[in-house]
């Protein structure tokens, strides 16, 4: 593998490990120092490997450089923040013998603690997602702005404020207490769920960064499965959901980048290895008698990957799962999706009555579904709702799909 290909790959896998360990050492209050050392490490790799070639063990090379740069930093700095002085006196000598602990255990512990620190609800959801993309995923400002449909200036301000809030509140890089763990874990899962959805339902879905958002959410979630305290039914259910959704990535768009609706997807393009992994995680999540919205959404996604069952069996199961989901956590979008399942399991007229009760008149998905339900019943209503959906959507892919449907009505 060429140096230009290897470094970005290692950046995605090793940056978060190095910066997490550094923040554990310095404290998140000095996150900028950790970022500088981690960035300098990869910059040196880019410069050196291009001239001398890739080392035999690139990861070990990065870790050695990170250790050396950390040691050099302590040599240069004479006066430390009082808090840092206290922490370091209790843990490490300030001599040149000080070592950055990049053992597997410390890396895993540090990443998990960093995940909880970044996904701290004292910051807004948007800020937590931006921080996760920057610190734990190694995304550049341009990439984050592109992924979140924002500007570089806005993202920079968001990141600055988020870090400031963490510093002012003296957020520690530590594992939550047993009392706080469930609540904090719920928030982490919520952020990872939103991060995945930013990619999966992105209005820039043809961009490769959208897929990368989903895979980063999966990578961060995997960290939770590696710790006994966080490897819970909800965590495994969410991983199952991610696997099922990700399995259909390649089939969601055709060769020219146009979106393909579920019913017309080429099933030979589905990733059945990911579907199998999803089934494994779903089975693990069911070992304890706990049902969450992630279990139910994963169950719905599971039935969408079935290829050897009747349509009646599939949609009846999906409908029942939506019924339970709405009982646990009602949302208009879930209610909207349920009406489509109802149409498939029962009939369009029954589903239409339910859909008209949902208050989503300013959502393009609402009008898109109504157009589908009116098909074969009222052509003028189909046209009316397609026009509204086209007007309201912010997604170019959705707009093109809707326009194609609208053109077919002429």
**Gap between the Cα atoms of 319 and 339, Å rounded:** 8
Q: Which two tokens stand for residue 282?
A: 């779903």
- Which pLDDT score is estimated for 397? 77
- Which pLDDT score is estimated for 91? 44
Residue 349 has pLDDT above 70, yes or no: yes
* Model pLDDT for residues 115-135, shown as the tens digit of each residue: 999 999 999 999 999 999 999
Q: Which two tokens stand for residue 378?
A: 């009222």
* Model pLDDT for residues 261-286, shown as the tens digit of each residue: 888 888 999 999 999 999 999 999 99
Question: Region 10-24: what's the mean pLDDT?
Answer: 92
* Model pLDDT for residues 93-113, shown as the tens digit of each residue: 444 445 789 999 999 999 999
Q: Which two tokens stand for residue 322?
A: 């939506």
Owner of token pair 């070990």 = 60
Confidence bin at 400 (pLDDT 50/70/90): confident
Please tell me the total number of residues recorded for the chain in this structure. 410
- Which pLDDT score is estimated for 246? 94
Question: Region 31-56: what's the mean pLDDT?
Answer: 92
Average pLDDT value over all residues in the chain? 88
* Model pLDDT for residues 387-399, shown as the tens digit of each residue: 999 999 887 778 8
Confidence bin at 85 (pLDDT 50/70/90): low
- Which pLDDT score is estimated for 64? 95
**Torsion angle of the four alpha carbons 125, 391, 332, 195, in this order, in degrees rounded to the nearest 10:** -30
């Amino acid at each position: 593998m060429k140096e230009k290909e290897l470094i970005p790959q290692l950046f995605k896998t090793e940056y978060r490990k190095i910066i997490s360990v550094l923040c554990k050492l310095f404290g998140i209050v000095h996150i900028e120092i950790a970022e500088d050392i981690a960035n300098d490490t990869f910059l040196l790799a880019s410069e050196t490997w291009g001239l001398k070639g890739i080392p035999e063990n690139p990861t070990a090379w990065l870790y050695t450089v990170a250790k050396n740069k950390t040691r050099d930093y302590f040599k240069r700095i004479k006066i430390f923040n009082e808090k840092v002085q206290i922490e370091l006196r209790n843990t490490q000598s300030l001599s040149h013998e000080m070592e950055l602990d990049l053992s597997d255990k410390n890396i895993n512990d540090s990443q998990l603690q960093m995940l909880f620190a970044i996904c701290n609800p004292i910051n807004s959801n948007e800020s937590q997602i931006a921080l996760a993309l920057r610190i734990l995923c190694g995304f550049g400002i341009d990439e984050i702005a592109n992924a979140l449909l924002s500007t570089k200036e806005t993202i920079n301000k968001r990141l600055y404020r988020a870090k400031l809030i963490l510093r002012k509140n003296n957020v520690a890089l530590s594992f939550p207490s047993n009392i706080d763990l469930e609540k904090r874990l719920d928030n982490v899962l919520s952020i990872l769920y939103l991060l995945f959805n930013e990619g999966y339902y992105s209005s820039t879905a043809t961009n490769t960064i959208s897929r990368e958002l989903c895979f980063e959410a999966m990578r961060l979630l995997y960290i939770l499965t590696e710790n006994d305290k966080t490897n819970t039914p909800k965590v495994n259910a969410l991983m199952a959901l991610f696997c099922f959704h990700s399995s259909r990535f390649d089939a969601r768009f055709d060769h020219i980048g146009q979106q393909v609706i579920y019913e017309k997807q080429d099933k030979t393009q589905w990733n059945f290895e990911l579907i199998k992994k999803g089934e494994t995680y779903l089975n693990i999540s069911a070992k304890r008698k706990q049902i969450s919205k992630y279990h139910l959404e994963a169950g719905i996604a599971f039935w969408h990957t079935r290829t050897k069952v009747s349509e009646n069996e599939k949609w009846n199961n999906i409908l029942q799962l939506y019924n339970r989901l709405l009982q646990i956590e009602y949302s208009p979008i879930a209610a909207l999706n349920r009406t489509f399942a109802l149409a498939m399991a029962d009939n369009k007229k029954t589903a239409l009555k339910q859909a008209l009760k949902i208050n989503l008149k300013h959502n393009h998905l609402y009008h898109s579904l109504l157009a589908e339900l009116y098909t074969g019943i009222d052509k003028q209503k189909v046209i009316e709702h397609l026009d509204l959906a086209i007007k309201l959507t912010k997604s170019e892919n959705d707009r093109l799909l809707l326009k194609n449907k609208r053109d077919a009505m002429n």
